[in-house]
Structure 1
Amino acid sequence: MQVTQPMPGQDPLAQLKDIHPPTEINWWPLDWGWWLLILSLVGVLIGFFIYWKRKRAFNRPRKEARHLLTLIKDTDENWPMQINEVLKRTALYYFSREEVAKLYGNGWRQFMLHHIADKHNKKLAAGLDTLQTQLYAPVKDNAQFETCIAAADLWLRHGSFSPSSTAPSHVSHAKETTHA
């Protein structure tokens, strides 16, 4: 290896080349860690969207039932039966037909009380008692209408519903009768 000697009278530092800064670091292409983070965020967003859609679909019959309650008026001759029918159709959507269809009177009342949180039990029980007496009364007491509607709405809002194994067969029945 031959080293060149500087010429006499010339500054040896003048032979040095200028310092070149490193090239700028680009943000693209992304490193594998960023890809993992992006995929995780997309997965979480998709999971949240699926959860939201399922929850919304699951609660749709309750929402429709609450709307049907608003259509019932105290001037209707058979308003207690209409309220009870809305509750029964909603229960048929969420629970098996064998479990719900045979219920009436005190058994129906106990079923609804069993499927609500304890903190709402007393208020619901009083409203359901009023509804049951109005169902079988020869003359309807329209002053009790608000109490019955409130109890039905309470059960629809705070009832503990769970999808039954036979729910898909009742979906079309519940929707047909809801829109009738």
Structure 2
Amino acid sequence: MLPSLAQLLPQQPLQPPQGQPDPVQQLLAQLHDPALPDAIGLWPLAIGWWLALFIGVTAITILVIKTVQHKKRSLYRKLALAELNNIQHNEPAHKQIFAINSLLKRAFFSAYPSLRNEMGGTYGEHWKALLFNTCALHKLTIEEQGALIHITGEAKYQPGTTIELSRVIKASRFWIKHHKTYSTAQLKPITERCLPGAV
């Protein structure tokens, strides 16, 4: 019968001869901790960070420019609303209608300066049509729309005409706040509808 493997192997681990260093310990002593790379610094920035920085700065710049442009374009609205408030509280009642109509014209030509030369003298039906075609005045009550129609036409000059000033002021305030802004090209069909032959 053959001896088993367990019988052939020595029961005790092999010991180096007396007086000689253990070769395993010698090998372990030669091992060192692995060299770690330096920590990754923030500078110089990688290309991805430069790209993100460029996009962020560009977006902020565009946002600031658009905000400033919008405020400049809307400044006339603030001024017109302040003047309307002044007319309401400081003008005598018989002058308010004329002052409001004049204010609406100034606000209109501030909103659409390209129309100033060709339509500065517009009044009556054409003036009313311009106001109604540049703002959703149908959202107002019939009475408020009627008050605005009265001040844009000849009725304000008729003796005995009574116009409810609070409705005129409300309709005027609505137009100043909510009229749409159009480019010159977008205004062309509107002006052709409102004043045929003017453009």
TM-score in same-fold range (> 0.5): yes
Could you say what the CA RMSD is over the residues aligned between the two structures, in angstroms? 2.5
Alpha-carbon offset, residue 19 of structure 1? 2.2
Match of 2:74 in 1: 59
Q: Relative to structure 1, is the Cα distance of residues 116 and 150 closer, same or farther in structure 2, using a 3 angstrom cutoff?
A: same
2:31 paired residue among 10, 13, 16: 16
Which one of the candidate residues 118, 125, 136 is aligned to 1:117? 136
Alignment of 1:6-85 (within 5 A): 8-10=20-22, 11=25, 12-73=27-88, 75-85=92-102
- Residue in structure 2 matching 1:150, options 141, 160, 170: 170
Q: Name the CA shift for 1:155/1:122 in 2 (closer, same or farther; >3 Å).
A: same
- Which amino acid in structure 2 is aligned with residue 160 of structure 1? K
The answer on whether the counterparts of 1:69 and 1:86 sit within 8 Å (CA) in structure 2 is yes
How far apart are the structure 1 equivalents of 2:141 and 2:84? 21
How many residues align structurally? 157
Give runs of ≥4 in structure 1 deviating > 6 Å: none
Unaligned runs of 5+ in 2: 1-19, 186-199
Cα distance in structure 1, aligned partners of 2:166 and 2:107: 20
| Offset, 1:136 | 1.5
| Counterpart residue number, 1:160 | 180
Q: How many percent identity over aligned positions?
A: 25
Structure-2 change in CA distance of 1:119 and 1:26 (3 Å): farther
- Structure 1 counterpart of 2:75, which letter? R
Map Cα deviations across residues 146-176 of structure 1 (whole Å, 9 max, x no partner). 10011111111111133559xxxxxxxxxxx
Q: Which structure exhibits the higher relative contact order, with contacts defined as CA atoms closer than 8 Å and separated by 6 or more residues?
A: 1
Q: Is the 8 A contact 1:65 1:86 kept in 2?
A: yes
Q: Residues 87 and 99 of structure 2 are in contact (CA less than 8 Å); yes or no, is this contact kept in structure 1? A: yes
Q: Distance in 2 between matches of 1:118 and 1:133?
A: 20
Larger Rg: 2
Superposed displacement of residue 84, structure 1? 0.4
Offset at 1:140? 6.7
Q: CA deviation at 1:21?
A: 2.1
1:79/1:139 Cα in 2 relative to 1: closer, same or farther (>3 Å)?
Answer: farther
